[in-house]
């Protein structure tokens, strides 16, 4: 295929969230695996300060090296004007202002967390009139917020755990709330990810410290009753014709000495193993896959999502959370689950882009 016929994909990564580095690692993997025959790649990094720069030509520079996390630093300054009459990536550099770098056909926002997975960049892309991979404004905003995710899931009759919300002015839990939850509890920022700011509290004297840690990230904090169970997740994928499927589930087995699935275990240490497919009987597997699709629709999901569950020893299933832009790092479950289900990484990425283009922007 001649190069001018290829689809121009802006892969956007980094960003202002606490998951900047994780996004870089995910993007490195996406850039390395998008089909070069079909797609022309435009890597666009967003610095931790929010500046858009042309990303490195070599995605390998975005990987984790010797436990050092990657960061988007400098590069040619670019922007995507919120003007639907042009979908050009425009240079902002002094002396080159307004120079058109390239027209863009579709955006793959490989961004996690605030300003990426929360509906804000999705809103910008709607204004630009550019199709993009993944959830729209509503689902992105809902799923970024663990309180509203639970509310929508519960409204559809899906099982969620017991929790309390501490808003900006709620200093701590009341005695009644403590009694309702029982120990241990998980204290977490309402709108974060990659386990940042999360503490497992086994003694009420440690609660306020945990709240402060979560508040360093988000003034709204969730305190959840601990759920004892295996951690199982399912990938959900929307195809260009609009039908939605769930992958085979994966089980995350973390090292027994670890408290929970924390940041280092997720991305740096080898403290977790994935069983794909999860060792579950056929009935439980199908039940989880059906629930994953239901959860996807409950939050008005689009494109893709990863749906995370706890499966308790008695077989009870509880939904933990969804992720509208799950990790795409080499150790991430989402692409691995699809590979085992029969959709290899390259096909998965092509499907995501084809679905984005088929859907377009605006009300749908």
Q: Which is nearer to ligand ADP, 200 or 346 (CB)?
A: 200
DSSP string, 3-27: GGGSEEEEEEEE-SSTTHHHHHHHH
Q: Can you list the positions of beta strands (E) in the chain?
A: 7-14, 39-46, 52-54, 78-79, 88-91, 100-103, 106-109, 163-166, 185-189, 199-201, 221-225, 230-238, 244-246, 250-254, 272-275, 304-311, 317-323
CB-based contacts of 2: which residues, under 8 Å, 6+ apart?
A: none
Looking up tokens 């027209």 gives: 103
User: How near is the Cβ of 196 to ligand ADP at its closest, in Å?
Assistant: 6
Q: Which stretch binds ligand ADP (CB under 6 A): 96-104, 192-200, 279-287, 327-335?
A: 192-200
Q: Is 161 in the site for ligand ADP (CB under 6 A)?
A: yes
Q: Is 18 in the site for ligand ADP (CB under 6 A)?
A: no
**Contact set for ligand ADP, span 210-249 (CB under 6 A):** 224, 226-227, 231
Instruction: Report the residue from 45, 109, 193, 249 that binds ligand ADP according to the rule CB under 6 A.
Output: 193
Residues pairing with 310 in the sheet: 231, 318
C-alpha–C-alpha distance, residues 357 and 327, integer Å: 22
Instruction: Report the residue from 20, 112, 188, 289 that binds ligand ADP according to the rule CB under 6 A.
Output: 188
Q: Is 148 in the site for ligand ADP (CB under 6 A)?
A: no
CB-based contacts of 47: which residues, under 8 Å, 6+ apart?
A: 14, 53, 71, 72, 73, 74
Q: Which is nearer to ligand ADP, 88 or 199 (CB)?
A: 199
Q: Which is nearer to ligand ADP, 273 or 286 (CB)?
A: 273
DSSP category for residue 42: E
Q: Output the residue with the shortest Cβ distance to ligand ADP.
A: 261
Instruction: Report the residue from 47, 321, 350, 351 that binds ligand ADP according to the rule CB under 6 A.
Output: 321
The pairing of beta strand 317-323 with beta strand 304-311:
antiparallel
Q: Is 261 in the site for ligand ADP (CB under 6 A)?
A: yes
Q: Which stretch binds ligand ADP (CB under 6 A): 3-11, 86-94, 186-194, 335-343?
A: 186-194
If you count them, how many residues does the chain have?
Answer: 364
Q: Is 320 in the site for ligand ADP (CB under 6 A)?
A: yes
Q: Which is nearer to ligand ADP, 194 or 341 (CB)?
A: 194
Q: Is 195 in the site for ligand ADP (CB under 6 A)?
A: yes
Q: Which is nearer to ligand ADP, 52 or 310 (CB)?
A: 310
Q: How far is CA 119 from CA 20, 61, 150, 346, in A?
A: 16, 28, 18, 26
Question: Could you tell me the two tokens for 222?
Answer: 């969730």
Q: Which residues bind ligand ADP (CB under 6 A)?
A: 161, 186, 188, 192-195, 198, 224, 226-227, 231, 260-261, 308, 320-321
């Amino acid at each position: 295929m001649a190069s001018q016929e290829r689809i121009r994909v802006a892969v956007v990564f980094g960003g202002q969230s606490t998951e900047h580095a994780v996004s870089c690692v995910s993007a490195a993997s996406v850039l390395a695996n998008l089909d070069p025959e079909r797609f022309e790649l435009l890597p666009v990094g967003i610095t931790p300060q929010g500046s858009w720069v042309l990303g490195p030509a070599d995605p390998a520079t975005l990987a984790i090296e010797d436990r050092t996390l990657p960061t988007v630093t400098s590069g040619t300054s670019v922007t995507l004007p919120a003007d639907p009459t042009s979908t050009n990536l425009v240079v902002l550099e002094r002396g080159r202002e307004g120079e058109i770098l390239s027209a863009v056909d579709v955006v793959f926002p490989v961004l996690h967390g605030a300003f990426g997975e929360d509906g804000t960049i999705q809103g910008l892309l709607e204004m630009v009139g550019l199709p993009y991979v993944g959830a729209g404004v509503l689902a992105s905003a809902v799923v970024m917020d663990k309180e509203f995710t639970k509310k929508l899931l519960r409204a559809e009759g899906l099982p969620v755990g017991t929790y309390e919300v501490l808003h900006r002015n709620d200093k701590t839990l009341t005695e009644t709330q403590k009694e309702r939850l029982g120990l241990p509890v998980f204290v977490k920022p309402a709108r974060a990810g990659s386990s940042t700011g999360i503490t497992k509290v086994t003694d009420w004297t440690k609660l306020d410290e945990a709240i402060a840690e979560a508040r360093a990230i988000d003034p709204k904090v969730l305190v959840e009753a601990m759920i004892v169970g295996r951690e199982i997740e399912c990938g959900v994928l929307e195809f260009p014709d609009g039908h939605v499927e769930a992958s085979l589930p994966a089980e995350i087995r973390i090292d027994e000495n670890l408290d929970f699935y924390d940041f280092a275990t997720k991305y740096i240490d080898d403290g977790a193993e994935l069983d794909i497919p999860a060792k579950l009987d056929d009935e439980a597997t199908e039940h989880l896959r059906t629930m994953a699709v239901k959860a996807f629709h409950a939050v008005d999901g689009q494109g893709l999502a990863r749906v995370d569950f706890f499966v308790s020893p008695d077989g009870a299933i509880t939904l933990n959370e969804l992720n509208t832009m799950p990790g795409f790092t080499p150790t991430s479950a989402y692409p691995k689950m699809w590979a085992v289900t029969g959709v290899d990484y390259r096909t998965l990425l092509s499907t995501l882009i084809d679905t984005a283009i088929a859907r377009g922007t605006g009300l749908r």
